[in-house]
A and B are shown apart, each in its own frame.
Chain A
Amino acid sequence: MHEFSISDEIVRNVLAAVKENKGTKVLSVQLEIGELALLNVEQVTFWIHELFKGSVAEGAKVKVRTIKARIQCESCGYRGGINLDRRDPFRHAVPYSCPKCHSFQIAIAKGRECHLKKIQALR
Chain B
Amino acid sequence: MKIIRPKGPEIFDIELEKDLLAKNRGLAKENRKRFDRSKILAIDVMGSIGSGKTSLIKAILKKLGMGQKAAVIAGDLTTTIDAERIEAEGARVIQVNTGKECHLDAHLIRKAIDRMKLDGVEVLFIENVGNLICPGEFPLGAHQRLVVTSATEGPYTVIKHPYIFREADVIVLNKVDMAKPMKVNLFQLEKDARQVNPQASFIKTNALSGKGIPEVIEALGLKR
Contacts and interface: CB of A to CB of B under 8 A. Distances in A.
Nearest to B20: A114
Nearest to B194: A104
A23 B197 contact: no
Nearest to A93: B159
Given A1-B102, A94-B162, A104-B166, A117 B17 contact: yes
A28 to B, nearest CB: 10
B202 to A, nearest CB: 14
A69 interface: no
B4 interface: no
Contacts of B162: 92-96
Contacts of A112: 21
Interface of A: 1-2, 4-6, 9-10, 13, 17-18, 21, 23-25, 27, 37-38, 92-96, 104-105, 112-123
Given A5-B101, A104-B166, A122 B20 contact: no
Contacts of A17: 14, 16
- Secondary structure call for the B interface: mixed
A8 B13 CA distance: 21
A16 to B, nearest CB: 10
Nearest to B14: A119
B14 A9 contact: no
A10 B20 contact: yes
B11 A120 contact: yes
A18 to B, nearest CB: 7
Contacts of B21: 6, 37, 112-114
A23 B14 contact: yes
B9 A123 contact: yes
B197 A118 contact: no
A64 to B, nearest CB: 13
Interface residues of B, number: 33
Interface string B96-107: 000011110000
B196 A115 contact: no
A1 B134 contact: yes
B196 A104 contact: yes
B136 interface: yes
Given A1-B133, A2-B134, A5-B101, A121 B12 contact: yes
Contacts of A121: 11-14
Contacts of B136: 38
Nearest to B133: A1
Contacts of B197: 104
B18 interface: yes
B11 A2 contact: no
A4 B21 CA distance: 14
Given A96-B163, A104-B195, A123 B16 contact: no
Interface in B152-209: 159-160, 162-163, 166, 195-199
